[in-house]
Amino acid sequence: MISLLIAIPLLLAFVSVMWKRLAKPLFFLAAVTNMTVLLASWFPNSVEIHVMGSWKPPFGINLVFDNASFYAALVVNFFFFLVSLMPNLVESYGVSLMLLMAAANGFVLTGDLFNSFVFMEIMTITAVTVASRRENFYNAFKYLILGGIAGSIYLLATIFAYTATGSLNMAHVSMATISASSLVAITTLYAIGLGVEAKLFPLNGWVSGVYGGNDLAPVILGTSVSFAALYMVGRLFGTVFHGSGAGVLYTLALITIIIGEVAALRQQNLLKAFAYSSVAQAGVVVAMISKGTSRAMGLAYFHLTNDAVAKFVIFLVAGFLVYNYKNLNGVFKKHKVLGASFSMATFSLVGFPLFAGFQSKLRIIMELFSMKDYLFPAVMLLATLIEVGYVVRWNVKLWFEEETDEKADNPIVAGTLALILSLLLVAVFIKPEIFLGGAMKMGNALADTKDYIHGVLSVVKGGM
Amino acid sequence: MVYIISIILVGIGVYGLMTQKNLFKHLISLSIIDTAVNIFIVATGYVNGGKAPIYTKNFPSFAIGRFVDPLPQALVLTAIVIGVGTLAVGASLLVRVKEKHSSIDVENMKGVGE
Amino acid sequence: MRRFYAILVAAGLVYMLFMFLGTIVPYGKADVADRVSAHFLAKDVNSISPTKWVEGDKQVPHSERVYGRKGFEDGSANVVTSIVVNYRSFDTLGEVTVLFASAVGVGLILGGTRRMKYGRKPNFILRVSTGILLPLIILFGIYIFVHGHLTPGGGFPGGTIIAAAVLLLYLSNEEFSLNMIVSKSLEGSMGSLYVIFGLIGLAAGGAFLFNFLPNGVVGSLFSAGVVPLVYMTIGLKVGSELSGVVAEIHEEREG
Amino acid sequence: MALSTLLISLLVTSVVIYFISKVSWRAGAILNFLIGVFLISYVFALHIGVTSNLGTLFGQKLQLTWTHASYYFSAVSLLVIVSVMLFAIKWLDSQKYPAAFNMFILMMTAGSLGVFMAADLITLYIFWEIAVLSSMLIVPMGKKESRKAAVIYAVMSASGTYMYLYGAFLAFQRYGTLNISEIARHMVSDPSTGIKAAIFLLLASAGIAKSGIFPLHTWLRIAHGNAPDAFSAVLSGQLVKLGSYVLMITVAAIPSLRVFGNIPFYSGIPATNYFLIALGATSIIIGTLMAIKQDDMKMLIAFSSVANGGYILIGIGTMDPMGFEGGVLHVFNHAIAAAVIFMAFASVVYRTHTKKISELGGLIHKMPITFLAYLFAIISLAGIPPMSGFISKWMIYQALVRKGMFITAFIAFFGSIGSFLYVFRPLAGVFLGQLPKKYKDVKEVPPVMWIPMMTLVVISLVIGIWPFPVLQPIEGMRMDYGIAPTMRIADSSHWLIKGFSGSWNPVLVFNLFIIGFVIAYILYTMFPRPKKVDLLAPHKEEGAPINIYTGGEYIYTPELYHYNTKFYAGFERMYEKHPSWEKVLEMLAKFFHDLGEWVHGWFFRPSPSAYTFWVSLTILIVFWVRW
């Protein structure tokens, strides 16, 4: 069943290249199918695998379907589904988005190191294509170069893992005895290789250009793809390498948080400012993942889910504004619904009460204190302080400044989606279990290496 | 030795990326890194005296040490194709960069703010 | 100064990788018996217990004649092919997708509508030899991907050779431009076919990309089950795809 | 109605009010006022000790309880808010966003009440942020400068809040609870002074930021000065008191005398408290000196709020029964006085559309009721009997003298004298003096606007004569916190407030004042009245030279000859080139901004080469540093 998550969008992408006009409805169809498949197999609560070509692991390639990959796939597909509802955003990028969807699903589900590299490269190439929309070629090119370097390093890391263990299977690599020096090489290279997609400092130079360059790229890359990438960070450093190399991630992530917020503060471009903020939030998530416990990881993904929902709304609204108005002063007076959703989402980002971000931020700080880590909360609160600065500045600018007489039609679908999602953020504040339950299951699944190994290597069956 | 050559090639690629002003040379440097990594991968599978992993009349049967490791070769096949895809997208992006910014030299490009 | 720092950093990187080299087996000393590929070579993946294998009991296969026999789990004489198209077929699907994605990307980025002109006439030798070489090149490409399971080569090289033929056409004739509808539908249908093969495998054998055809005798042309079929689809797909890319690059936008 | 139901339904109602206000903002404003009146009656009817569960968060119960402190602070807040709500029914027609104003002011009320009811640190934080958020969204509704003001307000407030949050979690990690009284119990027995002091100061910093105490005081000037005029009354009269409440929680609810008994600094006051007192004293000096030189009347009172926040902090910080009661009573006095003053200013701005003192004058004839309200408010603010403002200041002085803190006492006296100076400046500049020509048609504000002002004035006056209704809950608070529980200060049966160096009989004093007033009035009527000379009478049109001249020169710029210009020139010259803390904070903000530029320039430069360089360098650093 779960191989359909990758096969269906791929098949439809191949079909739609023949009939260009079908691309948009087929993208919608693919998203709906994927959501249906996922909803039909709600939280497996065990490690299920799907072996490709019925070659058992560690010999063949296998897809792993446990709580972690289910939750990640759910989030990833959810945002693709939302994007597919907005045809004027998709335009001629339907095929690329379907491929991106297949690749993100594959990246999340795969249990094979090299296979994950292949999917990462598909993601990079399609993401570059999406990023080049609205003539944003130079930034897309920079992204391509950085992605290419990262891909090479990721591949190098995979080969080191292969020579050290004799297999490419994640479960096998995680149980094999790897010498300490070898492990250093592998984790260093993986940290750098994943750092580009996970937006770690200083590998995040592409983010502002790509997210700030058009209205489609941030909406999908800043939510789905970044969730998939950060899922892989948790899978590799949590499950496979049992937290070795976490020190590197922790340090880099803390620097990322501060750098991201500081860079966001000075930004004069709405999309770019929140692009940097998404860098900072990725830093928070990676630092939390590097803590390695199941609770910490669960909270990391809880935070990431909240951030992704908020960012979706923010980028959606910001993209609409930036490409319809020359002067953004006071535009929300004309678009009250968009404005209200934007404000709610940004307040959730900061972590004001009444919104979801409050729940995750406070829980993270609390968890860190119980781990006797006093530095990270301080960094996080300082970052939040800077965040308050620019979030309030943007809100004030967009709501209260003197308006100009430019005019654009209200986007009905986007406005409705933004409003629903921002109300979802309020709902999460009242009832955090909506996201927290799944995220915690995800954290447990990621931290439980033993279960993962057992599930992958001892179950020998094809399975749908 | 092959290892060292491939590593030096990686170094050359990185050097090229850092010093060149022409964006197409960046793409070539990236390609060099790709190639270097591919060479490295194939090299990790080499067995002294090993043959290409194809069963023929002359080498009809399996034995340890007779054939080189086929897996890295299969991986490289994939990696090469990925490199080609990257190159194609990069090159076409550069065509458009040249159209938009009137140059692909980092220092002469117009309209690249921020 | 910039170059000096660049050299310094690059040298540091080389040094770091050099340090990492110490952690892997020296060149030429790769121990195939310790790796999964030993069983790909021996074609006995199904007969060993993965649980024992991962626990360190590697169960090295005995020397056994493979060529010209039948009854193996995988039927291609070229072991690299058996890995690419059978054992790790999913990677190859990904690989095809990468190429497809970049072809789509090139199309979207360039978005040309009119054939670009070189602005000079191709010379006589090029024009005449194209006529002679073209069928040969295409034939050679087809040969390469049809024999992918027996000899070095396969769908990707074969497809590339076909695309080279198209490039030759472009070079020799300024008026020529590829029929994009044909190439796109070939590309799309072949890609779909690959996925459909996988789905048939899912239906027939319970696993995506399952080899649902009999394997035959190792070393003969009609052997290795689904492998030649897949390689043919890949060959056609890559051929049409890269031809498409060549065509896209030869197009410019109006104005 | 349970406390939690009340707060949640208030939050929901605020959204409903928005949609009602969209139809008719006046209906929304009237509904707001009615809800406010209901809340006052509700608050007065509530029994001390009622608790209510808000739910659980992170496995911790969120609890609300109704204590003497909640009662006192809620009542004071509601008094101010309801007056402003009544005031707003008319005043809002000069505003651009009446619907949003109605929504946010009700939301802010819910937040403030929640803060006062909170029994644990997280509940307090949640409602605190609600109050800050909603008030922060009202601030930019004012004039152009108010946009920047909102950002500064939010950041300054957040800097305090996040320090508080850090402290709260530090306490939680150490003591395993967030409940304030349990934390207090644990802290008394905790041997580690360093961590206790850290928790104490971190918690206090939220109060410091909010009530405008020294290092974080600069937002008051810009936020109070630029917020919508009537809302400044809430900001200064009510929101700032949230800060005082948190300071009181940290100093008194956590019994700082016992917790830090091992680090006495000066006459039994622990070093931590003394640190706060020093901050308070600094605020008094800065607030007073800066207020004196302001030309903008709202900014002037904003600085006076800084100074009065200092008084409150000093009073509470001594933890002396007298000082504590004085400090808490000063909350009431300053709230009422500041609210009336800002409402009076709002009335003036409502009619004249300017808040510069130098552009005003002589409004006493045009707006006599507003003038009267302002007059009584400043009498209270300056601490002159018989208004209630005197009593609290007197109590604080009593405590300071008894503790032998002469420097602080001197600063407090200085602030008091300074307050005479600065409150007189708008009085003279706005209400007295010459009436500019363009305001000759100005009318008194309608009753809806002056009734709330006069009500508050009357309350202040009554409490000045008979302070025991207010002192009762304060005594209750003192008992709750165990500050000399056997001592009785307010003795209503003998009409006395028993001090250290004597007692104060407000009724007697009031009678004496009435007698004095009567004598003065008789003298006033006996002597001939001053003749009125119209200084600017020949002034026909704007900008034209005036027929009269001074020192042989025509007067081209009558502003220079305004009564208010260089009002206290000699005094101001003494500290003209003062070091400005505002500049320091601006430098800090600029530092972050420049850091952003720097980061951008170095790491996010638009060339792939730079990226590659940094990526490679990071790989090397990662490789070498860690292993």
> Which of A362, A367, A372, A387 would you mutate first to test chain D, the one with the most D CBs within 10 A?
A362
The rounded distance, in Å, linking the Cα atoms of C242 and C245 is 5
Give me the pLDDT at residue D556, please: 60
Q: pLDDT digit string (tens) for D514-537? A: 888 899 888 888 887 766 555 555
B34 touches chain D (CB under 8 A): no
Q: Are residues C22 and C90 in the same domain?
A: no
A155 touches chain B (CB under 8 A): yes
Instruction: State how far Cα A49 lies from the chain centre.
Output: 23
- Tell me the shortest Cα–Cα distance from B72 to chain A, in angstroms: 8
Asked whether the beta carbons of C231 and C145 are under 8 A apart, the reply is yes
Give me the pLDDT at residue A462, please: 38
Among chain D residues, the shortest Cα distance to A200 is held by D615
For the purposes of burial, counting CB atoms within 10 Å of the CB of A89, is it exposed (0-12), middle (13-18) or buried (19 or more)? buried
The rounded distance, in Å, linking the Cα atoms of A134 and D444 is 59
Give me the pLDDT at residue D531, please: 64
Q: Are residues C242 and C184 in the same domain?
A: yes
**With an 8 Å Cβ cutoff, are B18 and D606 in contact?**
no
Asked whether the beta carbons of A243 and A178 are under 8 A apart, the reply is no
Q: Are residues C181 and C103 in the same domain?
A: yes
Confidence of residue D565 (pLDDT cuts 50, 70, 90): low
- Tell me the shortest Cα–Cα distance from C170 to chain B, in angstroms: 18
Q: pLDDT digit string (tens) for D213-247? A: 887 888 888 888 788 888 888 888 888 888 889 88
The rounded distance, in Å, linking the Cα atoms of C48 and A58 is 11
* 3-class secondary-structure state, position D549: strand
User: Contacts of residue C207 in chain A, CB cutoff 8 Å?
Assistant: 50-54, 462-463
The closest alpha carbon to B16, from B7, B2, B31, B29, belongs to: B29
The rounded distance, in Å, linking the Cα atoms of D314 and D7 is 32
Close Cβ partners of C73 (under 8 Å, ≥ 6 residues apart): C43, C44, C45, C46, C215
Helices A4-16 and A23-40, axial angle in degrees (round to 10): 170
Task: Say if strands D264-266 and D60-65 run parallel, antiparallel, or are unpaired.
Answer: unpaired
Asked whether the beta carbons of C203 and A7 are under 8 A apart, the reply is no
C10 touches chain D (CB under 8 A): yes
Average pLDDT on A108-131 reads 91
User: Contacts of residue C13 in chain D, CB cutoff 8 Å?
Assistant: 616, 619-620
User: Contacts of residue D607 in chain B, CB cutoff 8 Å?
Assistant: 106
Q: How many domains does chain C have?
A: 2
Which range among A96-110, A370-384, D84-98 shows the weakest confidence by mean pLDDT? Answer: D84-98
**With an 8 Å Cβ cutoff, are B100 and A125 in contact?**
no
Give me the pLDDT at residue D557, please: 62
Name the DSSP letter for residue C24. S
Give me the pLDDT at residue D525, please: 85
Give me the pLDDT at residue A46, please: 83
| H-run or E-run covering A464 | none
The rounded distance, in Å, linking the Cα atoms of C20 and D340 is 75
User: Contacts of residue C12 in chain D, CB cutoff 8 Å?
Assistant: 616, 620
Close Cβ partners of D544 (under 8 Å, ≥ 6 residues apart): none
**With an 8 Å Cβ cutoff, are A141 and B90 in contact?**
yes
- Look over chain D and give the mean of its residue pLDDT values, rounded to a whole number: 81
- Look over chain B and give the mean of its residue pLDDT values, rounded to a whole number: 85
Q: pLDDT digit string (tens) for D458-483? A: 888 888 888 888 888 888 888 888 77
Average pLDDT on A446-452 reads 84
Answer yes or no: is pLDDT of B84 > 70: yes
Among chain D residues, the shortest Cα distance to A376 is held by D166
* 3-class secondary-structure state, position A107: helix
CATH, domain range B2-101 = 1.10.287
**Complex confidence, ipTM:** 0.87
**With an 8 Å Cβ cutoff, are A132 and B96 in contact?**
yes
The closest alpha carbon to D391, from D309, D304, D332, belongs to: D332
Give me the pLDDT at residue D548, please: 52
Strand partners, D491: D496
Among chain D residues, the shortest Cα distance to B108 is held by D607
* 3-class secondary-structure state, position A68: helix
The rounded distance, in Å, linking the Cα atoms of A222 and A211 is 7
Helices A294-322 and A67-84, axial angle in degrees (round to 10): 10
| H-run or E-run covering A371 | none
Tens-binned pLDDT, residue by residue, of chain C (255 aa): 778 888 888 888 888 888 888 888 888 777 777 888 888 888 887 777 777 777 777 777 777 777 877 777 777 888 888 888 888 888 888 888 898 898 888 888 887 777 777 777 778 888 888 888 889 999 998 888 888 888 888 888 888 998 888 888 888 877 777 777 888 888 888 888 888 888 888 888 778 888 888 887 887 777 778 888 888 888 888 888 888 888 888 887 765
Average pLDDT on D436-454 reads 80
C155 domain-assigned? yes
Asked whether the beta carbons of D396 and D330 are under 8 A apart, the reply is yes
A462 touches chain C (CB under 8 A): yes
**With an 8 Å Cβ cutoff, are C9 and D623 in contact?**
no
- Tell me the shortest Cα–Cα distance from A383 to chain D, in angstroms: 10
User: Contacts of residue C68 in chain B, CB cutoff 8 Å?
Assistant: 60
Q: Please tell me whether the peptide bond between D545 and the residue prior to it is cis, using omega within 30 degrees of 0.
A: no
Confidence of residue A464 (pLDDT cuts 50, 70, 90): very low
Q: Are residues C150 and C240 in the same domain?
A: yes
Name the more confident of A4 and C59.
A4
**With an 8 Å Cβ cutoff, are D623 and C16 in contact?**
yes
Q: pLDDT digit string (tens) for D340-365? A: 888 888 888 888 887 777 777 777 77
Q: Where are the beta strands (DSSP E) in A290-346?
A: none
Answer yes or no: is pLDDT of A199 > 80: yes
The rounded distance, in Å, linking the Cα atoms of A274 and A265 is 9
**With an 8 Å Cβ cutoff, are A10 and C188 in contact?**
no
Average pLDDT on D41-66 reads 83
Give percent above pLDDT 70 in chain D: 92
The rounded distance, in Å, linking the Cα atoms of D226 and D232 is 8
Average pLDDT on D289-295 reads 80
For A436-456, give the DSSP string. Answer: HHHHHHHHHHHH-HHHHHHHH
Among chain A residues, the shortest Cα distance to B45 is held by A163
Domain chopping of chain A, boundaries: 4-449
Close Cβ partners of D63 (under 8 Å, ≥ 6 residues apart): D51, D52, D53, D54, D118, D119, D120, D123, D179
- Chain D partners (3+ C-beta pairs within 8 A): A, B, C
A369 touches chain D (CB under 8 A): yes
C254 touches chain B (CB under 8 A): no
**With an 8 Å Cβ cutoff, are B17 and D608 in contact?**
yes
Two tokens at C223? Answer: 């052997």
A142 touches chain D (CB under 8 A): yes
Answer yes or no: is pLDDT of D538 > 60: no
The rounded distance, in Å, linking the Cα atoms of D9 and C248 is 63
Q: State the residue range of the domain holding C243.
A: 79-252
User: Contacts of residue B93 in chain A, CB cutoff 8 Å?
Assistant: 128, 132, 137, 140-141, 144
C61 domain-assigned? no
- Tell me the shortest Cα–Cα distance from B34 to chain A, in angstroms: 6
The rounded distance, in Å, linking the Cα atoms of D607 and D589 is 28
Cα C90 to Cα A105, C86, D28, distances in angstroms: 13, 8, 64
**With an 8 Å Cβ cutoff, are D173 and A149 in contact?**
no
Answer yes or no: is pLDDT of D552 > 70: no
The closest alpha carbon to A112, from D533, C223, D263, C88, belongs to: C88
Of B30, B82, B112, the CB nearest to A121: B82
The rounded distance, in Å, linking the Cα atoms of A314 and A355 is 14
User: Contacts of residue D609 in chain B, CB cutoff 8 Å?
Assistant: 17-21, 26, 106
- Look over chain A and give the mean of its residue pLDDT values, rounded to a whole number: 86
The closest alpha carbon to A334, from A347, A325, A343, belongs to: A325
Of B20, B21, B112, the CB nearest to D606: B112
The closest alpha carbon to A368, from A229, A254, A231, A226, belongs to: A254
Q: What angle do CA C217, C220, C224 make, to 5 degrees?
A: 60
What secondary structure, in 3-state letters, does D488-543 show?
Answer: CCEEHHHCEEECCCCEECHHHHHHHHHHHHHHHHHHHHHCCCCCCCCCCCCCCCCC
User: Contacts of residue B114 in chain D, CB cutoff 8 Å?
Assistant: 606
The answer for D396, left when phi > 0, alpha when psi is -120 to 50, beta otherwise, is alpha
Which range among B36-50, B56-70, C189-203, D594-608 shows the weakest confidence by mean pLDDT? Answer: D594-608
Which residue in this structure is represented by tokens 């500081």? A262
Asked whether the beta carbons of C82 and C223 are under 8 A apart, the reply is no
Average pLDDT on D118-139 reads 88
Alpha-carbon torsion (C120, C121, C126, C132), positive or negative:
positive
Two tokens at A94? Answer: 């339907």
Give me the pLDDT at residue A104, please: 92
Two tokens at D115? Answer: 């803060």
- Tell me the shortest Cα–Cα distance from D92 to chain A, in angstroms: 17
Amino acid at A126: T
**With an 8 Å Cβ cutoff, are C219 and B54 in contact?**
no
Average pLDDT on A70-87 reads 89
Helices (H), chain C: 2-21, 37-42, 50-54, 79-81, 89-110, 124-146, 155-172, 180-205, 227-249
Give me the pLDDT at residue D566, please: 66
The rounded distance, in Å, linking the Cα atoms of A365 and D165 is 9
Two tokens at D25? Answer: 């903002």
For D48-84, give the DSSP string. Answer: TT-EEEEEEETTEEEEEE--HHHHHHHHHHHHHHHHH
Answer yes or no: is pLDDT of D451 > 80: yes
- Tell me the shortest Cα–Cα distance from C21 to chain D, in angstroms: 14
- Chain B partners (3+ C-beta pairs within 8 A): A, C, D
